Structure 1
Amino acid sequence: MPVGTDGPTVQPPRLSSPSKLPAQFEINEEDELMNIKPEDSVSETKSRRSSKDTSGLITDLTRLKAITGDDRIGDPLYVTEYRQKLPDLTQEIIKERTFEGDEFEIRGLSGADLTRHLQDEYIEDDAADGRSDVFEDNESNISSLESDDEKANEEYDTDFDPTEADRLIYPERYETDPNGVGLYERHCEEIGVQPITYFIKHMQDTNLIMKFHGLGPQGMRAIAGNIEINTVTERIDLEGNYILGEGATYLTRVLKDNSYVSELVLSENKIGSEGAVALCELLTKNKTIIHLNLTGNEIDDSAADAFYDMLVANSEIKTLILKHNCFEEYGADSFCKIMDENVTLQTLDLSWNHFQSKGCAALAEGIKLNEGLKYLDVSMNGFGLEGARAMEDALKTNRILRELHCTHCRIPVEGAPYIAAGIQVNEALVKLYIGHNEYGCDGGFFILEGVNRNDKKTLKYLDFANLMVRRSFKALEKELKEDRSLVTVYGGVLVDVASFASKIPRNPEKLLASDPMTKLREYVEKSGYRMIDLLKTFDRDNDWQISREELSMGVKKCEIDLTEDQIDKLMSQLDLNGDGQIDLSELMEGKLENTLLQREAIRYREEVDKKTKKQEQMTAKADPQSFMEMMND
């Protein structure tokens, strides 16, 4: 039967025993080791052990060292060298085993392959000559030998790892790095960046938070490989790492096929429009990420079309935060179309961008057309009067939006009635933040009245921030609180200076001296208290109000020099709504009136002193004018 590519076909000699090859064809055990393949090492290791190796301490590497006679084999520094030398060494052994001559020649076979080949040759040849009985007669003996070997192997107990030699020679085939630490360190070494200990400790966290770690683009590139193979992390927060557009591109490449990360926060990374476009291209295909925060990344109108394409194609994303960026009018038009066509986005934050009145009007048009948003923040954009007018139609038409933020939007007092008219008809809004605008106390009252006229009573929270209001606002706010549990936030109640001035007597010094609030205020200032501290001290039942009894007990406890009549006068003076309780706003207003009275007393004293001095000068000169002024007095 032909065996090689060169040389004649020969008949191999017959085996003298079915269990043993002729001596010229036997393969030495040490030579056999040189031809072991990585995939054969596990199955053949036990068969290579001799009776002298019962402890399992002789490793494959030791055998290799014995074969080559090179003492450097045990040194890890030469592992790479022997990996290169091993194939050549094996080929030399193969050449020594090659038979040449007229009768037999084998080429290209070595080790266990050669043994199996020769056995197959003998069996086939015997069968052809009708002499297969050589093996058949002793079949039971062969089986018994094999079973004995298997039994011995099963009873053989050792801690020896049969693949240890291959692990040292071919470490990449047996790589064990379950946490990815080795992979990260290799990437850092290749890129030339310092590994971050925090990332090594937390790379397998479900919520990976790495804020302000100074990654930069190359640091982002280093951790990208671990993110690609990570199957645990669901939220990644890389705020403030200055990864730029380059780093964002590295990240998008590894998240392309990721099906685990659902929330991505890249705030304050200066990724610009380049990085934003790369992320939009990613989210056009990746439908796993549903929350994206790109706050403070200097993204401008050049990325607006990419956001439009992404949000039209992706119906899975629920939250998009784009505050503190650089979108202008073109971007506003794009987001208007997005709000019109996308019905699955629930949260959109466009606050602190560069939208002016036309852009804000476009956003308002988008609100009017939208049927999906539940939360919208357009704060710190220039709505002005034009934007306020557009917002009226938006509020009247929209039936989905639940929370709206319009703070710092330069809405003038002329724009407040448009907002109020929209709120009067709106049926969906639950929370409205509209503080820090330019409409003043009158505009605030208009908006509150719009809430009062709304029969649906859906609005439950109204925030005017630090707006100072009049008593008419205070009275309406109290009524709405009782009627529909409306929570209203504002700065405080203004004092009607005109009405107060009409109450000032000719001698405000006497009124100031007799005012019990003066003594209460003097005690507060002397003790280093604030009015809120005084309220807490007097309020015994912790309801943030002071009753007549609590006021009397507090005055006596603090040893304030007030009689019962003066306490009654103070109670009547501070209880503006007549409910028998003094709250913090009433206490603050009483303090403000006392302050105004004190100023009037000072002004009065200055005028009296000035007039007295002038009178003295004219009297000394015997001036008729002094007599004329006495007539006027």
Structure 2
Amino acid sequence: MTSSLTSHMQSTMQALALLPEKLRQRRRIRQRVLDPASPRAAFANPKYGSTSRNFIFRVMAQRKVAPAVEPSVSPPYQEMQEDKTEQTAEQEETTSPSPTQRVSVSDIEVVDVYRPKPETPCQKIYQRACAKLQVLPSMSVYDHLPCSQMALPHSGVGHDEVKAIAIALVHNSSVHTLNISDNRLGSTGTAFLTEALRENRSLADLNLSHNALGTEGARLVAAALLSNTSIVRVNLSSNNIQDNDIICISEMLQKNRTLRDLNLSHNHICHVGGALLGQALVVNDTLRTLDVSWNHLRLQGAIAFCRGLAMNQGLTRLFIAWNGLAIEGCHELGRALSTNTHLVELDVSANRVNGVACRNLLTGLRANTSLRCLRIGTNPITTESALSILLMLADGATGLTELDLATVSVDSNFLAVLQKVQEKRPLAVTHGVPLRHDDITPGTQPVVLDTDDPVTILFEFMRQKNLRLIDLLHSLDKDNSETLSREELRNGLLNIDIPLSSRSMDILMNKLDLNRDGHVDYEELTIGLKEYLRKTARWKRKAEQNSDKPVVSRLQQLRKAIRMRIEASQGRGST
């Protein structure tokens, strides 16, 4: 048994040894050969933490590969191999193509999958750091170390990977932009990175957003920016930065003279943080762009911040949207705009800017000649306030060239004035839906029913039409579902010439749709009516205590406007 197996293995080895040499040469030529001297071969070395060769090859060049020399065959089988070679050569002569079509094996061009590039010193340092930390090197980091930009967002790098990157960036002079956002670095990863920033003098743009830096991370970044004089743009948004964390950032802004762009949006900056940033703005005159949107700058924090802005002489772009300036903050912001002569772009969207707050802003805008772009949309601004802003621009009091009134409804007067202004000067205006209404008031100013209390409009219409609640439901319910959708409410009010803007419809649905299913049923209408009756009772009690009676006069004006609209609608229906 053993002898037969041994003889079978010997015969197999003999058959393999007698394969034609040309066939072996052609098989070898078809194989892809990776130069072992390539720097990428280091990524497959076991000492770097992995034996994987799973990376993308790139075709870099083409070269000619000479056929490799086969090892000599043992003497017992040499004669048999020569005879087999002669027979194969005779067969190829009978089936070979013409001499003009014959191709030499040595002339076949083979695609080399990679031609090694010169390895930079920072790439060598990065590989050594990965070997010492026992982490797998990143091909993206390795390839971008000699480039000007390194983008690693959402990469999931750990603390050891960040440490290896920081070691490679210490003496790097080519990377100017580093985006390492959304990697959950925390304070540990931030400590490694800020150590490199103390020595690096080429990095100019740093994005650390969505990294949960917290208090310790904010302190480390602020300390690094005090010693680093090359960074001009920093993004610290969505890092859970609290009020007390602004202390170190405020101290940094008061001493740093190279930073030009700072993003602190989507954090938790409140009263204390607003006051600290206001103090920094008084001293700092080199910062050009500041983004503090989506925070909690309200009341005293907003007032202190705007007072610092009034004394600032360097800021050109300010984004303060989605905070809570309201009337008090807008009053101080208007005073700041009257003295600030450097601000070019201002965003106060979604800041509870109502009619009174808008008038406070207009007071400062009339004395400002430097502002070019104003974004004030997504605020409870009526069409009358929007028209006031446009009339101020028509007088040529400001230099605004771009006005953003997104979601703010406008009327026909606004559109007419806008056309006249655009004929005289370049002005780009973004506004909400145009309201359809007629001039039904005795004067020249039309009544626009765009209010913060659309529920009052709905139930005042029902009261003046002498409708029961069930009658109101059936008059608006077009699909007989016993519920009212947003579209049914909107179309029903349009049919009676009471159009509401998208903002007013959102308020109406938010107050009536209690279970948030997108529809208003009879029970929800009943609850809304009871709340409306209680509100009007409170207004009457307040009016009896106050002599001026502003609330009741406002309610009377609203009832008068609705009555005139009903009469006008009936008049058009009779004709």
Q: TM-score, normalised by structure 1?
A: 0.50
Alignment correspondent of 2:399: 458
Whole-Å separation in 1 of the counterparts to 2:330 and 2:255: 32
- Give 1 or 2: higher helix fraction: 1
Per-residue displacement from partner, 1:544-565 (whole Å, max 9, x unpaired)?
Answer: xxxxxxxxxxxxxxxxxxxxxx
Q: CA deviation at 1:466?
A: 2.2
- 1:216 and 2:155 correspond: no
Relative to structure 1, the CA distance from residue 241 to residue 594 in structure 2 (aligned partners, 3 Å threshold; closer, same or farther) is: closer
Q: Equivalent of 1:231, from 173, 178, 187?
A: 173
Whole-Å separation in 2 of the counterparts to 1:391 and 1:280: 28
SS at match of 1:348: strand
**Cα contact 1:425–1:454 (8 A) shared by 2:** no
Alignment correspondent of 2:431: 490
Which runs of structure 2 are paired with 1:430-509 in the superposition (5 Å)?
A: 430-455=372-397, 457-496=398-437, 499=440
SS at match of 2:415: helix
Whole-Å separation in 1 of the counterparts to 2:232 and 2:333: 28
Q: Mind listing any 5+ residue stretches in structure 1 that lack a counterpart?
A: 1-175, 501-591, 601-633
Alignment correspondent of 1:353: 295
Alignment correspondent of 1:421: 363
Alignment correspondent of 2:261: 319
Whole-Å separation in 1 of the counterparts to 2:231 and 2:394: 42
Whole-Å separation in 1 of the counterparts to 2:433 and 2:305: 32
Whole-Å separation in 1 of the counterparts to 2:309 and 2:236: 21
**Cα contact 1:217–1:242 (8 A) shared by 2:** no
**Cα contact 1:424–1:454 (8 A) shared by 2:** no
**Cα contact 1:179–1:204 (8 A) shared by 2:** no
Relative to structure 1, the CA distance from residue 288 to residue 593 in structure 2 (aligned partners, 3 Å threshold; closer, same or farther) is: same
Q: CA deviation at 1:275?
A: 1.2
Alignment correspondent of 1:263: 205
SS at match of 1:493: coil
**Cα contact 1:452–1:480 (8 A) shared by 2:** yes
SS at match of 2:245: helix
- 1:401 and 2:343 correspond: yes
**Cα contact 1:216–1:244 (8 A) shared by 2:** no
Per-residue displacement from partner, 1:20-43 (whole Å, max 9, x unpaired)?
Answer: xxxxxxxxxxxxxxxxxxxxxxxx
Compare 310-319 and 186-195 and name the one that shifted more.
186-195
Alignment correspondent of 2:110: none
**Cα contact 1:420–1:449 (8 A) shared by 2:** no
Whole-Å separation in 2 of the counterparts to 1:595 and 1:372: 49
Aligned length: 334
Q: Equivalent of 1:377, from 314, 319, 322?
A: 319
Alignment correspondent of 1:365: 307
**Cα contact 2:337–2:367 (8 A) shared by 1:** yes
Question: What one-letter code is carried by the residue in structure 2 that aligns with 1:383?
Answer: L
Whole-Å separation in 2 of the counterparts to 1:325 and 1:270: 10
Q: Equivalent of 1:392, from 307, 327, 334?
A: 334
Whole-Å separation in 2 of the counterparts to 1:318 and 1:427: 23
- 1:283 and 2:200 correspond: no
Whole-Å separation in 1 of the counterparts to 2:497 and 2:357: 38
Whole-Å separation in 2 of the counterparts to 1:334 and 1:454: 36
SS at match of 1:416: helix
Per-residue displacement from partner, 1:456-509 (whole Å, max 9, x unpaired)?
Answer: x41100000121111111112112111221111102210116859xxxxxxxxx
Q: Quick check: which has more Rg, 1 or 2?
A: 1
Question: What one-letter code is carried by the residue in structure 2 that aligns with 1:368?
Answer: A
Whole-Å separation in 1 of the counterparts to 2:350 and 2:497: 36
**Cα contact 2:330–2:357 (8 A) shared by 1:** yes
SS at match of 2:407: coil
Per-residue displacement from partner, 1:557-593 (whole Å, max 9, x unpaired)?
Answer: xxxxxxxxxxxxxxxxxxxxxxxxxxxxxxxxxxx99
Per-residue displacement from partner, 1:425-445 (whole Å, max 9, x unpaired)?
Answer: 211100001100112222222
SS at match of 2:225: helix
Whole-Å separation in 2 of the counterparts to 1:599 and 1:282: 59
Alignment correspondent of 2:284: 342
- 1:328 and 2:270 correspond: yes
Relative to structure 1, the CA distance from residue 284 to residue 594 in structure 2 (aligned partners, 3 Å threshold; closer, same or farther) is: closer
Whole-Å separation in 1 of the counterparts to 2:135 and 2:242: 31
Per-residue displacement from partner, 1:383-420 (whole Å, max 9, x unpaired)?
Answer: 11111111110111111100001011111222111112
Whole-Å separation in 2 of the counterparts to 1:474 and 1:480: 10
Q: CA deviation at 1:319?
A: 0.9
Whole-Å separation in 1 of the counterparts to 2:173 and 2:150: 12
Q: Mind listing any 5+ residue stretches in structure 2 that lack a counterpart?
A: 1-117, 442-490, 500-575
Relative to structure 1, the CA distance from residue 219 to residue 354 in structure 2 (aligned partners, 3 Å threshold; closer, same or farther) is: farther
Q: Equivalent of 2:130, from 167, 180, 188?
A: 188
Per-residue displacement from partner, 1:353-403 (whole Å, max 9, x unpaired)?
Answer: 121122111121122111000101111100111111111101111111000
Question: What one-letter code is carried by the residue in structure 2 that aligns with 1:436?
Answer: T
Q: CA deviation at 1:189?
A: 4.0
Whole-Å separation in 2 of the counterparts to 1:425 and 1:178: 57
Question: What one-letter code is carried by the residue in structure 1 that aligns with 2:429?
Answer: T
Question: What one-letter code is carried by the residue in structure 2 that aligns with 1:481?
Answer: Q
Relative to structure 1, the CA distance from residue 593 to residue 497 in structure 2 (aligned partners, 3 Å threshold; closer, same or farther) is: farther
Q: CA deviation at 1:320?
A: 0.9
Q: CA deviation at 1:448?
A: 2.2
Alignment correspondent of 1:540: none
**Cα contact 2:381–2:408 (8 A) shared by 1:** no
Whole-Å separation in 2 of the counterparts to 1:437 and 1:598: 24
Q: CA deviation at 1:192?
A: 4.2
Whole-Å separation in 1 of the counterparts to 2:409 and 2:162: 49
Q: CA deviation at 1:196?
A: 2.0
Whole-Å separation in 1 of the counterparts to 2:367 and 2:185: 47
SS at match of 2:337: helix
Whole-Å separation in 1 of the counterparts to 2:493 and 2:167: 69
Question: What one-letter code is carried by the residue in structure 2 that aligns with 1:353?
Answer: N
- Computed over aligned residues only, the root mean square deviation of the Cα atoms, in angstroms, reads 2.6
Whole-Å separation in 2 of the counterparts to 1:312 and 1:282: 14
Alignment correspondent of 1:161: none
Relative to structure 1, the CA distance from residue 412 to residue 253 in structure 2 (aligned partners, 3 Å threshold; closer, same or farther) is: same
Alignment correspondent of 1:165: none
Whole-Å separation in 1 of the counterparts to 2:249 and 2:496: 60
Relative to structure 1, the CA distance from residue 204 to residue 488 in structure 2 (aligned partners, 3 Å threshold; closer, same or farther) is: same
Q: CA deviation at 1:343?
A: 0.8
Relative to structure 1, the CA distance from residue 396 to residue 184 in structure 2 (aligned partners, 3 Å threshold; closer, same or farther) is: same
Q: CA deviation at 1:208?
A: 1.1
Whole-Å separation in 1 of the counterparts to 2:417 and 2:498: 31
Per-residue displacement from partner, 1:177-220 (whole Å, max 9, x unpaired)?
Answer: 63544433443344343332221222221011111111133321
Alignment correspondent of 1:292: 234
**Cα contact 2:315–2:342 (8 A) shared by 1:** yes
Alignment correspondent of 1:49: none
Relative to structure 1, the CA distance from residue 235 to residue 598 in structure 2 (aligned partners, 3 Å threshold; closer, same or farther) is: closer
Question: What one-letter code is carried by the residue in structure 2 that aligns with 1:322?
Answer: L
Per-residue displacement from partner, 1:43-97 (whole Å, max 9, x unpaired)?
Answer: xxxxxxxxxxxxxxxxxxxxxxxxxxxxxxxxxxxxxxxxxxxxxxxxxxxxxxx
Alignment correspondent of 1:615: none
Q: CA deviation at 1:234?
A: 1.0
**Cα contact 1:210–1:237 (8 A) shared by 2:** yes
